[in-house]
A and B are shown apart, each in its own frame.
Chain A
Amino acid sequence: EAGVAQSPRYKIIEKRQSVAFWCNPISGHATLYWYQQILGQGPKLLIQFQNNGVVDDSQLPKDRFSAERLKGVDSTLKIQPAKLEDSAVYLCASSLAGRGQLNGYTFGSGTRLTVV
């Protein structure tokens, strides 16, 4: 089966600019997650969608980050305006059910963002 697709693979922007990332989950996976992984650390959940509804966005910096999954399939994550500390790899993952379940839970290859 096709994996979780993310684009772009790399992005370099100046601080205060805006940027958007795209994710297409595995077909049939109702749950989609965005993670932020800073170098040397484990992934941190930003937002979890169940179909097109938000399940958990408690760690999303809502003053600058936004995400949507309008049709319950692919999703975009936006940062506006970007800060230097936003430099990280942004991972998208999808699963058939919730994160605690043993059902397939698959990560995309990520987008590496560098803010200069």
Chain B
Amino acid sequence: KNQVEQSPQSLIILEGKNCTLQCNYTVSPFSNLRWYKQDTGRGPVSLTIMTFSENTKSNGRYTATLDADTKQSSLHITASQLSDSASYICVVSPSGAGSYQLTFGKGTKLSVIP
């Protein structure tokens, strides 16, 4: 069964600090992995999309890494801001006939405090 596990479930950090969120998946065969940011009461917004051949991708202060061999990804947030407070969702897509079946993680709820 395709699964995406995220950790930690929640995280509180001080403004200005860095943090790293983890995503482990069992989706196979693998096509791509996406990280979304979801503010409370809003829909998810895409941060990064990575394919099998990509190891890292950045979007401003957000840097995602992918290890397709160990089926792990991380999202690193640098110099956190209060506006980074949100849920971060990892989404994995298989390749082939089942490519339409996205698997969502439950998300990591990040709180950035002054």
Contact = CB atoms under 8 A, between A and B. Distances in A.
B106 A99 contact: no
Nearest to A91: B43
B99 A98 contact: yes
A92 to B, nearest CB: 8
A99 B42 contact: no
Interface residues of B, number: 27
B89 interface: yes
Contacts of A91: 43-44
Contact of B31 (A45, A55, A100, A112): A100
Contacts of A56: 100-101
6 contacts: A42-B107, A100-B101, A107-B43, A107-B45, A109-B43, A110-B43
Interface of A: 4, 6, 40-45, 48, 55-56, 91, 93, 98-102, 105-110, 112
